[in-house]
């Protein structure tokens, strides 16, 4: 499919060149015609201006080359040649007066002749010379056209480019829309030709936003409605489990507990998804201490790690570079806690018993790095992009989950202009997740000698 720009340039360039060539050809023909008329007038003036008294022995300094521009011949009333400007050229006398044509040695001549006081004056000129001089003058008249073609081409290129700029701006405006921001496009800056397209696009964006709002409302309402019966069912299960000690029944109750825990986790993730997906990020963020954030997330998930016998802890740099200066970033503290918590929760879930999960925060090139490293099975390179998709769960992981944790994490990261990268762990084992967010430059804060109550102990890298 040929682009609109290329099609416009092809048609405009083709039309301009065709019109210029046609105008140049017409000018060439016209100039040649006018030059021939001028040469005819010149011959007539030479014949009229020749002296009236001229004897047979009169001599003039003349040339004898047939390539001379003009030749002069005079006969008396007895048809005797009185004078010729080229004695070596024997051009016969024409029989008529005025303009005529004759031929000598296969060379054409344009002749003007007249009777003057009994004399017959003949002024011939080679037509080849006339044509060559006329063509030369005509070609010189085409120089403006030759200069005009590239100037017009440049003008067409600029005009077409500027005329198509609104399409480029519209494409850029559409490209800025994200699933989280589907606001309509203002039509004030676009010409009337694009108004129908803008109207259709804005209608589509409006319908998409309505559909997404309805979807989020449904997810939120459904999750809220499910929380109460799940909690009641969990309570009833605990009562049944307490009143029955049959080993066979206990096995079934344990499986039922697992299913309920999975359903409860799914409901929590759905509520979290409804709260964060499609939310317009609040740019009036406050300063968040990332080291306290890491300590708080690790403390929250420490019981889960302890139940699974996973060593979960905060790693501090071996050189203590971050021990005196806290690292800050702008953002929503609760959302950042959810972002980091989902990564740490995934690491604890998929790390086998007696494994290790390390969480750290550092500063590199004006950005803060929140890193979660584990020695679990890791994620194949081919799946590291897909795991951020909604409801995507890898086969054979052996762990229950909703497939929403990393999707929610990616959504929150996008709202904070942050990025999440997944790499292999040390020696190619496990998974190393890195959150990269812009750091806030602040003055060093005094070092805290004691940790807040309930925070996990730190270990050196």
Transcribe 400-425 into DSSP letters: ---S-HHHHHHHHHHHTT-EEEEEE-
Query: Per-residue b/e over 13-35, b at no fewer than 16 CB within 10 Å?
Result: beebeeebeeebeeebeebbeeb
Sign of the CA dihedral 416, 369, 354, 394? positive
- Three-state DSSP at 6 gives helix
pLDDT band at residue 267 using 50, 70 and 90 as cut-offs: low
Residue 101 host element (H or E): strand 98-104
Q: Please tell me the distance from the alpha carbon of residue 163 to that of residue 58, in angstroms, as a whole number.
A: 76
Instruction: Name every residue whose Cβ is closer than 8 Å to that of residue 25 and which is 6 or more positions away in sequence.
Output: none
pLDDT band at residue 450 using 50, 70 and 90 as cut-offs: very low
pLDDT tens digits, one per residue of 292-330: 999 999 998 898 889 888 999 988 765 555 555 688 998
| Termini Cα distance of the chain | 58
Instruction: Name every residue whose Cβ is closer than 8 Å to that of residue 144 and which is 6 or more positions away in sequence.
Output: none
391: left (phi over 0), alpha (psi -120 to 50) or beta: left
Does 346 have pLDDT greater than 80?
A: yes
Chain centroid to CA 64: how far?
A: 74
Instruction: Name every residue whose Cβ is closer than 8 Å to that of residue 452 and which is 6 or more positions away in sequence.
Output: 292, 295
List C-alpha distances in Å: 431 to 12, 184, 311, 367, 419: 59, 41, 15, 21, 16
**All structural domains of the chain:** 4-145 (3.30.450), 192-275 (1.10.287.130), 283-460 (3.30.565.10)
**Most confident listed range (144-158, 261-275, 446-460):** 144-158
Hey, which bits of 78-163 come out as E strands? 81-84, 98-104, 107-116, 119-126
pLDDT tens digits, one per residue of 200-251: 888 888 888 888 777 777 766 666 666 667 777 777 777 777 767 767 677 7
- The answer to whether 124 and 110 are in contact (CB under 8 A) is yes
Backbone angles phi, psi at 298, to 5 degrees: -65, -40
- Three-state DSSP at 116 gives strand
Where do runs of H (alpha helix) occur along 329-402? 333-350
Whether this prediction's pTM lies above 0.85 is answered by no
């Amino acid at each position: 499919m040929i682009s609109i720009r290329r099609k416009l340039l092809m048609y405009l360039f083709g039309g301009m060149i065709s019109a210029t060539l046609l105008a140049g050809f017409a000018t060439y023909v016209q100039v040649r015609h006018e030059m021939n008329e001028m040469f005819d007038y010149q011959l007539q003036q030479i014949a009229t201006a020749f002296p009236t008294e001229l004897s047979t022995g009169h001599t003039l300094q003349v040339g004898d080359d047939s390539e001379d521009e003009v030749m002069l011949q005079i006969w008396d009333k007895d048809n005797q040649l009185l004078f010729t400007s080229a004695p070596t050229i024997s051009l016969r006398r024409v029989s008529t007066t005025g303009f005529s044509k004759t031929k000598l040695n296969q060379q054409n001549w344009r002749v003007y002749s007249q009777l003057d006081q009994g004399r017959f004056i003949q002024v011939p000129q080679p037509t080849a010379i006339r044509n060559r001089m006329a063509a030369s003058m005509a070609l010189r008249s085409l120089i403006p056209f030759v200069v005009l073609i590239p100037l017009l081409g440049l003008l067409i290129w600029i005009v077409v480019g500027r005329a198509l700029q609104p399409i480029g701006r519209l494409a850029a405006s559409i490209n800025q829309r994200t699933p989280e921001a589907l606001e309509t496009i203002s039509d004030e800056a676009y010409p009337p030709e694009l108004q129908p397209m803008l109207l259709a696009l804005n209608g589509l964006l409006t319908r998409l936003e309505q559909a997404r709002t309805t979807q989020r409302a449904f997810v939120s309402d459904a999750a809220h409605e499910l929380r109460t019966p799940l909690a009641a069912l969990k309570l009833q299960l605990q009562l049944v489990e307490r009143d029955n000690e049959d080993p066979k029944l206990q096995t079934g109750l344990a499986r039922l507990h697992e299913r309920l825990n999975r359903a409860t986790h799914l409901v929590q993730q759905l509520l979290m998804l409804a709260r964060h997906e499609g939310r317009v990020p609040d740019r009036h963020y406050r300063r968040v201490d990332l080291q306290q954030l890491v300590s708080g997330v690790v403390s929250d998930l420490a019981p889960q790690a302890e139940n699974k016998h996973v060593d979960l802890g905060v790693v501090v740099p071996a050189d203590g570079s971050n021990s005196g200066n806290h690292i800050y970033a702008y953002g929503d503290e609760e959302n950042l806690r959810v972002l980091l918590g989902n990564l740490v929760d995934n690491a604890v879930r998929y790390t086998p018993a007696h494994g290790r999960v390390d969480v750290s925060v550092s500063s590199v090139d004006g950005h803060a790095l929140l890193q979660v490293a584990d020695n679990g099975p890791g994620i194949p390179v081919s799946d590291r992009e897909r795991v951020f998709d909604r409801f995507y769960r890898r086969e054979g992981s052996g762990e229950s989950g909703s497939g929403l944790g990393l999707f929610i994490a990616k959504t929150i990261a996008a709202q904070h202009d942050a990025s999440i990268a997944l790499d292999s762990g040390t020696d190619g084992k496990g998974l190393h997740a890195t959150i990269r967010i812009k750091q806030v430059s602040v003055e060093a804060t005094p070092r805290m000698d004691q940790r807040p109550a309930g925070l996990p102990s730190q270990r050196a890298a």
